[in-house]
Amino acid sequence: MGVDVGSTTIKIVIIDAGFQIIYKSYERHQANIQQTFAEELNKVIEQFPDTEFCINITGSAGMGIGERIGVNFVQEVVAAVEVVNTIYPDTHTLIDLGGEDAKMVFFKEGKHPDIRMNGSCAGGTGAFIDQMANLMNISVEELGQKALNFEKIYPIASRCGVFAKTDVQNLISRNIPVADISASILHAVALQSVTTLARGFDVKPKVLCIGGPLTFIPALRNSFREVLKINDTDFILPENGEYFPAWGAALYQEKEIVYHNLTSLIQKSASNTKMQSETLPALFKDEEDYNQWKKNRRIKALEFVELGNKKKIECFLGIDSGSTTTKIVIMDRDARILYRFYDSNEGNPLKKVIEGLEKFYAEAAEKGISYKFLSSAATGYGEDLIKSALGLDYGIVETMAHLSGAQYVDPKVSFILDIGGQDIKSIFTENGVISNIELNEACSAGCGSFLQNFASTMHMSLEEFTKAACLAKYPSDLGSRCTVFMNSKVKQSLRENAGMDDIAAGLAYSVVKNCLYKVLKISNLKQLGDNIVVQGGTFRNDGVYRALELLSGKAVSSTDYPELMGALGVALYSRSLWEKENTDKCTPAIELPNAENINTKELQCKGCTNNCSVLRFKFENGNICYAGNKCEKVFYNKSVAKKGGYNGFDEKNEILFNHCVNADNIQQGKTIGIPRVLNMFDNYPFWHTLLSECGFNVRLSPESTFPLYQKGVGSIMSDNICFPAKLVHGHILALIEQKVDRIFYPIIPKEEKEFGASSNSFNCPVVSGYPEVIRSSMEPEEKYGIPFDKPVITFSSDRALEKACFEYVSSLGVSKSVFKTALEKAMQVKTDVKIRLRESQ
Residues that bind ligand SF4 (CB under 6 A): 605, 607-608, 610-612, 629-631, 633-634
Nearer to ligand SF4, 625 or 829 (CB): 625
Nearer to ligand SF4, 350 or 605 (CB): 605
Nearer to ligand SF4, 184 or 414 (CB): 184
Nearer to ligand SF4, 286 or 650 (CB): 650
Nearer to ligand SF4, 585 or 630 (CB): 630
Q: The dihedral of CA 752, 758, 759, 765: what is its sign?
A: negative
Q: How far is the CB of 609 from ligand SF4 (least distance, A)?
A: 7
Q: How far is the CB of 705 from ligand SF4 (least distance, A)?
A: 11
Q: How far apart are CA 262 and CA 42, in angstroms?
A: 8
- Residues contacting 18, CB < 8 A, separation 6+: none
Task: Identify the DSSP state of 794.
Answer: -
Nearer to ligand SF4, 70 or 702 (CB): 702
Nearer to ligand SF4, 630 or 783 (CB): 630
Q: The dihedral of CA 668, 671, 672, 677: what is its sign?
A: positive
- Residues contacting 725, CB < 8 A, separation 6+: 678, 766, 767, 770, 773
Nearer to ligand SF4, 577 or 608 (CB): 608
Q: How far is the CB of 637 from ligand SF4 (least distance, A)?
A: 12
Task: For helices 565-581 and 398-409, give the axis angle rounded to 10 degrees.
Answer: 90
Q: How far apart are CA 15 and CA 83, in angstroms?
A: 12
Structural element, H or E, at residue 374: strand 370-379
Nearer to ligand SF4, 592 or 603 (CB): 603
Nearer to ligand SF4, 608 or 747 (CB): 608
Q: How far is the CB of 128 from ligand SF4 (least distance, A)?
A: 25
Q: How far apart are CA 508 and CA 524, in angstroms?
A: 21
Nearer to ligand SF4, 274 or 633 (CB): 633
Q: How far is the CB of 629 from ligand SF4 (least distance, A)?
A: 4
Q: How far is the CB of 642 from ligand SF4 (least distance, A)?
A: 13
The secondary structure of 231-286, three-state, reads CHHHEECCCCHHHHHHHHHHHCCCCCCCEEEHHHHHHHHHHCCCCCCCECCCCCCC
User: How far is the CA of 139 from the CAs of 134, 146, 174, 232, 645, in angstroms?
Assistant: 7, 11, 21, 26, 47
Q: How far apart are CA 152 and CA 629, in angstroms?
A: 18
Query: With contact defined as beta carbons under 8 Å apart, do 540 and 563 qualify?
Result: yes
Identity at 806, one-letter amino acid code: F
Nearer to ligand SF4, 117 or 631 (CB): 631
Tell me how far the alpha carbon of residue 108 is from its chain's centroid: 33
Instruction: Point out the residue whose Cβ comes nearest to ligand SF4.
Output: 607
Query: With contact defined as beta carbons under 8 Å apart, do 168 and 132 qualify?
Result: yes
Nearer to ligand SF4, 33 or 385 (CB): 385
Most distant CA pair in the chain, distance: 98
Q: How far is the CB of 422 from ligand SF4 (least distance, A)?
A: 24
Q: How far is the CB of 610 from ligand SF4 (least distance, A)?
A: 4
Q: How far is the CB of 649 from ligand SF4 (least distance, A)?
A: 10
Q: How far is the CB of 616 from ligand SF4 (least distance, A)?
A: 12
Q: Exposed/middle/buried for 562, CB within 10 Å: 0-12, 13-18, 19+?
A: buried
Selection from 364, 378, 380, 383 nearest residue 314 by Cα: 364
**Could you check whether the bond before residue 206 is cis, i.e. omega within 30 degrees of 0?**
yes
Nearer to ligand SF4, 526 or 606 (CB): 606
Task: Identify the DSSP state of 459.
Answer: T
Selection from 746, 309, 386, 305 nearest residue 566 by Cα: 386
Q: The dihedral of CA 499, 500, 503, 509: what is its sign?
A: negative
Q: 58: which strand partners?
A: 4
Q: How far is the CB of 626 from ligand SF4 (least distance, A)?
A: 9
Nearer to ligand SF4, 21 or 634 (CB): 634
Q: How far is the CB of 647 from ligand SF4 (least distance, A)?
A: 10
Q: How far is the CB of 154 from ligand SF4 (least distance, A)?
A: 13
Nearer to ligand SF4, 434 or 608 (CB): 608
Nearer to ligand SF4, 153 or 612 (CB): 612
Q: How far is the CB of 385 from ligand SF4 (least distance, A)?
A: 16
- Residues contacting 417, CB < 8 A, separation 6+: 424, 425, 426, 515, 532, 533, 534, 535, 536, 548
Identity at 327, one-letter amino acid code: K
By DSSP bridging, strand 312-321 and strand 325-332 are antiparallel
Q: How far is the CB of 151 from ligand SF4 (least distance, A)?
A: 21
Q: How far apart are CA 562 and CA 517, in angstroms?
A: 23
Task: Identify the DSSP state of 431.
Answer: T
Q: How far is the CB of 676 from ligand SF4 (least distance, A)?
A: 18
Strands of 507-594 (E only): list them: 532-535, 556-559
Q: How far apart are CA 729 and CA 710, in angstroms?
A: 9
Kindly write down the DSSP assignment for every residue of 135-191, as one continuous string: HTTS-HHHHHHHHTT-S-------SSHHHHHHHHHHHHHTT--HHHHHHHHHHHHHH
Q: How far is the CB of 292 from ligand SF4 (least distance, A)?
A: 55
Q: How far is the CB of 706 from ligand SF4 (least distance, A)?
A: 11
Nearer to ligand SF4, 168 or 612 (CB): 612
Q: How far apart are CA 153 and CA 135, in angstroms?
A: 18
Task: Identify the DSSP state of 762.
Answer: B
